[in-house]
Amino acid sequence: MSFLATDEPRVNRLVIIGLGLIGSSLALAAKSIGLVNTVIGISRRSSTLELALDLSIVDETYQDLASVASQLTSGDVVVIGVPTLSVPVVMADCHRLLSKDVTITDVASVKGSVVDALREIYGDLPEQFVPGHPIAGSEKSGVTAADKHLFENHRVILTPHGSADTEHFLLVSKLWSGVGGLVTTMNVQDHDVILAATSHLPHFLAYSLVDTLASMGDNREIFRYAAGGFRDFTRIAASDPVMWRDIALANQQSILHVLDEVMGNFQMLRKAIDESDADYLMDVFTRARDARNHFGKLLETNTVQGSMTEKTINYRVTPGGHGRGVLRVPGDKSMSHRSIILSSIAEGMTEITGFLEGEDSLATLRAFREMGVVIEGPDQGRVVVHGVGLNGLKAPATPLNMGNSGTSIRLLSGLLAGQSFDTELIGDVSLTGRPMGRVADPLRMMGALIETSQKGTPPLKITGGQTLRSIDYDMPMASAQVKSCVLLAGLYAKGITSVTEPAPTRDHTERMLQGFGYTVSAADSVASLTGGGALQGTRIDVPADISSAAFFMVAAAITPGSDITLRHVGINPTRIGVINILRQMGTAIHLSNTVEVGGEPVADIRIQYAPLKGIDIPKDQVPLAIDEFPVLFIAAACAQGITLLTGAEELRVKESDRIQSMADGLVTLGIDATPTADGIVIVGGTLGQGHVLSHHDHRIAMAFAIAGLRARGEITIEECNNVATSFPDFIETAKAIGLVIGVESRDD
Ligand code: S3P
């Protein structure tokens, strides 16, 4: 494979000092694709130079830099490829012998020591020197291990001290990207701290483990039986000792810091094993497995240790699709959150099936793991939670990251207001812009100590140890998240906490609490409970999410000839606005197999195409369809006549401003859509083609993907990564019913 680009600048002579694995692989890669004009190898060992010539790794060889230095000039790159502690010696030669025009770089795994040496030798940080570190390697070493593919798709970190657009920087970047590397920049300190944890420490652990086992009396026996785990864990203990000795000495402080942390954890692990503390072991192992699986996905897509960027995903939908099939969409997001929250504070074990393995509900799950709850899974929707009781949560070591999830942060704020320990809740850019005053206000009325940013947004800082009082809260907006937040805080308050809602909102918290044996009264728009009781572990079957089903309901509703059946969907009366609205617009929807599962009604939903007409959406349906409006707007765009939505100002504070995001996208596609303060006016028409932005909002992305079924041309939807928050298999499911949809990804 060649990564050679035709545009300049081009490296003339590549001089590699030190023909170890990295140096000789770079020489071989550059030479074999004709990336540079001449490759020169320098080594003190003549046998190495002979081998390098024999193997056609280099064009010319010298035993020292002095023999070639006077020929080098602008456009030539000198790469210092010797072990870390030998870099200063070579650097001193470079200082003495090379003109300022020659570009110099190095490949050492530690950058702080290189920069310190530069300061000492040059008296400053010369622009001609661009420190570098290819994150690639192998346990093999030396010129005979040279591999021309070694750097392909591996990150190369450059830590330039000057500006990153000098000729020298561009030349070094060009060299690495030419051999297939993915060039990134970083500051020196971050580099050394990150690499100490992700690269240096694992090597030292592997060396230490192998050395420990090897020095045991019966080591032959031990190694004879050491298979899979040992082999996987210790492959890197076969690496070059000189190189790793140098790294250990050059990056002392960062390594000691992370080593101390691991040793502390080892001590705790030892104690847990000694004391048969099964909970501690499960806690650590499940948390680690979860983290490994999470980061494993990043590793798979990036082949580098600790990938530092994520790819941006765009969707492209081509006209000509259809909507036919029988499918089950993933588990209900709202119920998945609540299943983890309530089972964590219940007594005993809860088994959950149908759990949504989306980023949002996983953020909730991780938060409880951070607070010491042992949670097994998720494994194909099955999760087992070992509840710790109402007062058994432990202080998390770091802020709890709620990612993109409004439900996580708002529900957890209520629960955490009642704990004895302090917590901080943080989230991604979208969540950090969303209003939290709506939960902070009632919680403060209950005596909670909770801080938001000045704008009333995250991060939320909650000071524990407060005595909460029960309140009767008249909710100013119809919000299930606020209602649930207050009820969860109410579990920790003395007396009866009640919430009155201005319009019915989803009541999963109330229903599920009852499933855990906790008495909740819910009547005439008031939900109340008495604090201080206990929840008992139970079984929860999470049905398919009607909010995810809605995309395929609309797919069938807008596509002539369609017929889609969605299995086992939750049809809680507080969630069925989408069915009511589509029926009013003319869609044929048939429910069957209606049953009650764990206090929640569930049914199969069949949707067949029929021509749609625009309607005035009844205000009482707004809270019942609050998450389904993006895709309902697509139905409105395909309907005959005008659809009018009012009373939906809440849509402006969702994962994006959904009124504006949808209006903008619809207008791009040629639809007459006018946003209003609390809704939108959509005139049905013909969907055209174009690029629309999802604003990182999962439901906007999926809504426009469905629009592709009726569009005249191709629709590209940008920034669709967040679809994974609620519907990880959306693309496969969409293809299964007949959408012609593809995914494109690009590096950020
Ligand atoms: C949710 C409630 C709704 C909804 C959100 C999930 C819940 O938000 O939009 O996706 O699980 O309680 P609001 O309570 O803010 O309306």
Q: Domain of 260: which CATH number? A: 1.10.3660.10
pLDDT band at 302 (very low <50, low <70, confident <90, very high): very low
Nearest CA to ligand 1 atom 15: 479
Same domain? For 517 and 548 the reply is no
What average pLDDT does the segment 275-284 reach? 91
Q: pLDDT at position 164, please?
A: 63
| pTM exceeds 0.85, yes or no | no
Query: Is residue 300's pLDDT more than 60?
Result: no
Q: Measured in angstroms, how far is the CA atom of residue 479 from the centroid of ligand 1?
A: 6
Concerning whether 627 is annotated as a catalytic residue, the answer is yes
- CB distance 506 to ligand 1 below 6 Å: yes
Of all atoms in ligand 1, which is nearest to the CA of residue 477? 16
The closest of 368, 367, 363 to 350, measured between CA atoms, is 368
Of all atoms in ligand 1, which is nearest to the CA of residue 338? 11
- CB distance 359 to ligand 1 below 6 Å: no
Q: Is residue 479 part of a domain?
A: yes
Expressed as residue numbers, the domain containing 240 is 194-276
Out of 479, 483, 546, 700, give the residue to mutate to test ligand 1, the one with the largest number of ligand atoms within 8 Å of its CB. 479
What average pLDDT does the segment 356-377 reach? 93
> How far is it, in rounded angstroms, from Cα 582 to Cα 589?
8
Task: Say which residue the tokens 């494109």 belong to.
Answer: 744
Residue 415 DSSP SS3? helix
Number of independent structural domains in the chain: 4
Q: Measured in angstroms, how far is the CA atom of residue 480 from the centroid of ligand 1?
A: 5
Same domain? For 344 and 319 the reply is no
Q: What crossing angle do the helices spanning 333-344 and 359-370 adopt, rounded to 10°?
A: 10
pLDDT mean across residues, the chain: 93
Same domain? For 80 and 123 the reply is yes
pLDDT band at 377 (very low <50, low <70, confident <90, very high): confident
Out of 332, 334, 434, 632, give the residue to mutate to test ligand 1, the one with the largest number of ligand atoms within 8 Å of its CB. 334
CATH number at residue 68: 3.40.50.720
Q: Is residue 301 part of a domain?
A: no
pLDDT band at 227 (very low <50, low <70, confident <90, very high): low
Q: What is the DSSP letter of 675?
A: E
Q: pLDDT at position 602, please?
A: 98
Q: pLDDT at position 746, please?
A: 65
Q: pLDDT at position 152, please?
A: 92
> In one letter, which amino acid is 482?
V
Same domain? For 527 and 618 the reply is no
Q: Is residue 302 part of a domain?
A: no
More confident residue, 239 or 624: 624
Which of 228-237, 249-258, 456-465, 547-556 has the least mean pLDDT?
228-237
Q: pLDDT at position 301, please?
A: 46
Residue 358 DSSP SS3? coil
Same domain? For 419 and 436 the reply is yes
**93, 240, 627, 657: which one is catalytic?**
627
Pairing of strands 77-80, 13-17: parallel
Residue 110 burial (10 A CB sphere; 0-12, 13-18, 19+): buried
The closest of 639, 637, 631 to 704, measured between CA atoms, is 631
Nearest CA to ligand 1 atom 4: 627
529 token code pair = 């409970």
Q: Measured in angstroms, how far is the CA atom of residue 172 from the centroid of ligand 1?
A: 50
Which of 73-77, 225-229, 437-441, 648-652 has the least mean pLDDT?
225-229
> In one letter, which amino acid is 634?
I
- CB distance 626 to ligand 1 below 6 Å: yes
What average pLDDT does the segment 30-37 reach? 92
Q: pLDDT at position 472, please?
A: 98
Query: Is residue 309's pLDDT more than 50?
Result: no
Contact 620, 593 (CB under 8 A): no
- CB distance 509 to ligand 1 below 6 Å: no
User: Beta-carbon neighbour count of residue 119 at 10 Å?
Assistant: 11
Q: Measured in angstroms, how far is the CA atom of residue 471 from the centroid of ligand 1?
A: 22
> How far is it, in rounded angstroms, from Cα 639 to Cα 580?
16
Q: Measured in angstroms, how far is the CA atom of residue 462 from the centroid of ligand 1?
A: 22
Q: pLDDT at position 234, please?
A: 87
Query: Is residue 628's pLDDT more than 50?
Result: yes
Nearest CA to ligand 1 atom 16: 479
> How far is it, in rounded angstroms, from Cα 125 to Cα 117?
10
> How far is it, in rounded angstroms, from Cα 194 to Cα 198?
6
Nearest CA to ligand 1 atom 11: 334
> How far is it, in rounded angstroms, from Cα 113 to Cα 287?
35
Taken in order 84, 86, 90, 92, the sign of the CA dihedral is: positive
More confident residue, 286 or 581: 581
Same domain? For 572 and 437 the reply is no
What share of the chain in percent tops pLDDT 70? Answer: 96
Q: Is residue 250 part of a domain?
A: yes
Same domain? For 549 and 529 the reply is no
Residue 165 burial (10 A CB sphere; 0-12, 13-18, 19+): exposed
Contact 472, 446 (CB under 8 A): no
- CB distance 430 to ligand 1 below 6 Å: no
Contact 363, 726 (CB under 8 A): no
Tell me if the bond preceding 442 is cis, omega within 30° of 0: no
- Mark which of 121, 156, 186 sits at the end of a domain: 186
> How far is it, in rounded angstroms, from Cα 513 to Cα 535?
8
Out of 333, 341, 481, 632, give the residue to mutate to test ligand 1, the one with the largest number of ligand atoms within 8 Å of its CB. 481
- CB distance 364 to ligand 1 below 6 Å: no
What average pLDDT does the segment 420-438 reach? 96
- CB distance 481 to ligand 1 below 6 Å: yes
> How far is it, in rounded angstroms, from Cα 319 to Cα 220?
65
Out of 361, 410, 506, 702, give the residue to mutate to test ligand 1, the one with the largest number of ligand atoms within 8 Å of its CB. 506
Q: Is residue 225 part of a domain?
A: yes
Q: Measured in angstroms, how far is the CA atom of residue 340 from the centroid of ligand 1?
A: 16
The closest of 22, 312, 306 to 190, measured between CA atoms, is 306
Same domain? For 637 and 690 the reply is yes
What average pLDDT does the segment 186-196 reach? 95
Q: Measured in angstroms, how far is the CA atom of residue 435 from the centroid of ligand 1?
A: 13
Of all atoms in ligand 1, which is nearest to the CA of residue 481? 14
Q: pLDDT at position 223, please?
A: 75
Q: pLDDT at position 222, please?
A: 73
Query: Is residue 731's pLDDT more than 90?
Result: yes
Same domain? For 712 and 606 the reply is yes
Q: Measured in angstroms, how far is the CA atom of residue 481 from the centroid of ligand 1?
A: 5
What average pLDDT does the segment 316-329 reach? 95
Same domain? For 537 and 547 the reply is no
Q: Measured in angstroms, how far is the CA atom of residue 410 from the centroid of ligand 1?
A: 9
Q: Is residue 283 part of a domain?
A: no
Same domain? For 494 and 532 the reply is yes
- CB distance 650 to ligand 1 below 6 Å: yes
- Mark which of 541, 565, 596 sits at the end of a domain: 541
pLDDT band at 4 (very low <50, low <70, confident <90, very high): very low
Q: Is residue 353 part of a domain?
A: yes
Phi, psi of 121 (to 5 degrees): -80, -45
Q: Measured in angstroms, how far is the CA atom of residue 103 from the centroid of ligand 1?
A: 57
Helix (H) or strand (E) holding 550: helix 546-558
What share of the chain in percent tops pLDDT 90? Answer: 84
> How far is it, in rounded angstroms, from Cα 448 to Cα 469?
9
The closest of 539, 488, 547 to 360, measured between CA atoms, is 547
Q: Is residue 295 part of a domain?
A: no
Same domain? For 236 and 137 the reply is no
- CB distance 486 to ligand 1 below 6 Å: no
139 token code pair = 């346990």
CATH number at residue 401: 3.65.10.10
Q: pLDDT at position 299, please?
A: 57
- CB distance 407 to ligand 1 below 6 Å: yes
Residue 137 CA neighbour count, 13 Å, CB half: 23
- Mark which of 522, 541, 560 sits at the end of a domain: 541
The DSSP bridge partners found for residue 742 are 316
The DSSP bridge partners found for residue 132 are 158
Q: pLDDT at position 319, please?
A: 93
- CB distance 334 to ligand 1 below 6 Å: yes
Q: What is the pLDDT of residues 110-162, one digit of tens each?
A: 999 999 999 999 999 999 999 999 998 777 778 899 999 999 989 999 999 87
Query: Is residue 503's pLDDT more than 90?
Result: yes
What average pLDDT does the segment 221-243 reach? 82
pLDDT band at 519 (very low <50, low <70, confident <90, very high): very high
Nearest CA to ligand 1 atom 5: 407
- CB distance 480 to ligand 1 below 6 Å: yes
